[in-house]
Structure 1
Amino acid sequence: MKINLSGHHVEVTETVKLHVEEKFAKIASHFPSLISLDVTVTKERGEYEVEVRTNYEGVSVAAKGADPVMWPAIAAAKKKLDAALKHRKGQLKADLHSKPDVTAPEIAYEKVQEMNLEK
């Protein structure tokens, strides 16, 4: 999985790259169909915001984490992305299950026609 890391008002060092790759390695193993992640680290008003975007099975999935320290912000974004991907995976699995058929109205109509309602 390719990780595109960018910073806004933050210098992206080799240490930050390694930490991000380490954090998101587990997600790559759980969701092998992920091709890439776009990670943006922003610092505004003394708080770090980490936004992660990806496409999973035809749907855009995004997550944000914020904290005054960069490392917990990255961890929070990773946790939220993992939850969002699991939710999407559950939706896809639920669509595969067969749904019970509802009794068709024409059957009820046929039953009413067979009944002798005139007296």
Structure 2
Amino acid sequence: MNLKISGHHLDITPALREYVINKLDRVIRHFDQVIDVSVLLSVDNHKEKERRQKADITVHLKGKEIFVESCDENMYAAIDMLIDKLDRQVIRHKTKLQGHAHEAIKHQEHQELPAEPLQ
């Protein structure tokens, strides 16, 4: 798995990097076929009194790409919400892959066809 953590208007401290990695372990525990993960942590200062912390993640899986974002006043809370959303989406994707909507042909009951009269 390739992991890229970057910041926009924010320095990525070792503590923040370690926090993201520890949280991502939960997602990988559910689904281990992750190819790439790209995390973007940013701070938007639109208004002087309001600082908005934003966390985005893009996870590239085999055959699918999942994008999740979350915002909060606290970066750690934004990361927690982000991982919760990502975990739900990964579990939903995993159940779709493993879903058995139709029973396999070998497990279906065989219906006997009436014998055709010999001529």
Distance 1:26 1:60 in 2: 18
Q: 1:84 aligns with which of 89, 94, 105?
A: 89
Answer 1 or 2: which has greater helix percent.
1
Highest RCO, 1 vs 2 (Cα 8 Å, sep ≥ 6): 2
Which structure 1 segments of 5+ residues have no match? 100-119
Give the TM-score normalised by the residue count of structure 1. 0.76
- The aligned counterpart of 1:66 is 71
- The aligned counterpart of 1:47 is 52
> Which amino acid in structure 2 is aligned with residue 53 of structure 1?
T
Which structure 2 segments of 5+ residues have no match? 46-50, 104-119
Q: Secondary structure at the match of 1:61?
A: strand
Give the TM-score normalised by the residue count of structure 2. 0.76
Residue 70 of structure 1: CA displacement?
Answer: 0.5
- The aligned counterpart of 2:2 is 2
Q: Deviations over 1:37-91 (max 9, x none)?
A: 1000011031111001011231110111110011000001101111111111122
- The aligned counterpart of 2:17 is 17
- The aligned counterpart of 1:103 is none
Equivalent residues, number: 99
